[in-house]
Amino acid sequence: MSKPRVALMGVGLMGAGMAGRLLSANFPLTIYNRNREKAAPFARDGAVVVSSPGAAASQAEIVISMVADDLASRDVWLGENGALEGASSGTVLVECSTLTVGWVKELAAAATRRGCELLDAPVTGTKPHAAAGELVFLVGGSASALDAARPALAALGQEIIHLGANGNGALMKLINNFMCGVQAASLAEAACLIDAGGLDRAKALAILTNGAPGSGLVKTAAARAAAHDFTPNFNLRLMAKDLGYAVEEAAQRGLALQTAVSALAVFKQAMADGLGNEDFSAVVQSFQQR
């Protein structure tokens, strides 16, 4: 059977890896990116590069978005020459960006009016996972829409977890990322206290990373901080954005995420220090400089 035609909107750190995976799996692929130059290399590998989200969606059965935030998502779906305008009835829309639940539900309603179905399918993983097809999809939406999108998602990820109705994938991703941000901020504070107390940093970090606090994220962030390598796999500014979204989402439910609020303050300071476009592990460096 022929593979479904896929459109991908956004070829940044994550989207570029996703585009490469889809092309290597021989999916007919159309790409839209706000900066067209970033999409040009994929044309050499067989992708069709177009000038608007609407043009991308008009050529696809599955339309995938991987952009920075609610504003960018709204623009590609509902803006001028937006993807929803170009999509045919029956098209499955897959929003892989980390967004607010409110916007996801608004987009799902707009998709329904168009005769389409939306999956909110944000991912866990960073740039290397996207390039290797090792993402994990956290999916909200109907089972039938997921079945239709599954061939493309299976080429991009190692696991697809269906969490129920629209919005559930988005909410789970915010919970996942706020916990990641809290861990990174706590490591930044721990490193600062290690230095202030005159401990041997290498020994102290080895105790933390090899002991109970040593999650995969803490291990990775500690290693990158030790190497002073903050080449972005996941931008610090996006972690700050995700923490802010999580805090707002909880507030709408009458909850106060106190650890997330504290972590957000640490990340905001790192952004003020000019580290927003570095890897999120640079928050360790920022905290030590204060």
What count of other Cβ atoms lies within 10 Å of the Cβ of residue 63?
A: 32
Residues 86-109, mean pLDDT to the nearest whole number? 98
Confidence (pLDDT) at 143? 98
- pLDDT category at 1 given cuts 50, 70, 90 is low
Confidence (pLDDT) at 290? 64
**8 Å CB contact between 267 and 187:** no
Comparing CA positions, the residue from 194, 176, 189 lying closest to residue 265 is: 189
- pLDDT category at 286 given cuts 50, 70, 90 is confident
227 Cβ contact list (under 8 Å, min separation 6): none
Residue 31 has pLDDT above 80, yes or no: yes
The helix (H) or strand (E) run that includes residue 214 is none
pTM, rounded to two decimals: 0.97
Distance CA(159)–CA(174), nearest Å, equals: 18
> Which letter does DSSP use for residue 4 in this model?
P
| Percent of the chain residues topping a pLDDT of 70 | 99
Confidence (pLDDT) at 289? 66
Amino acid, res. 53 = P
Strands 123-124 and 135-139: antiparallel
Residues 60-70, mean pLDDT to the nearest whole number? 98
Residue 67 has pLDDT above 70, yes or no: yes
153 Cβ contact list (under 8 Å, min separation 6): 94, 121, 137, 160
What are the tokens at 279?
């890897």
Residues 167-188, mean pLDDT to the nearest whole number? 98
Distance CA(226)–CA(152), nearest Å, equals: 38
b/e sequence 156-187, b meaning 16+ C-beta within 10 Å? bbeebebbeebbbbbbbbbbbbbbbbbbbbbb
Dump pLDDT digits (tens) for 185-244.
999 999 999 999 999 999 999 999 999 999 999 999 999 999 999 999 999 999 999 999
Residues 128-134, mean pLDDT to the nearest whole number? 98
What are the tokens at 202?
């290498």
Domains of the chain: 6-165 (3.40.50.720), 171-289 (1.10.1040.10)
How long a stretch of residues is the chain?
Answer: 290
> Which letter does DSSP use for residue 32 in this model?
E
Task: State the chain's mean pLDDT as an integer.
Answer: 97
Q: Based on C-alpha coordinates, what's the Rg of the chain? A: 20
Residues 271-276, mean pLDDT to the nearest whole number? 96
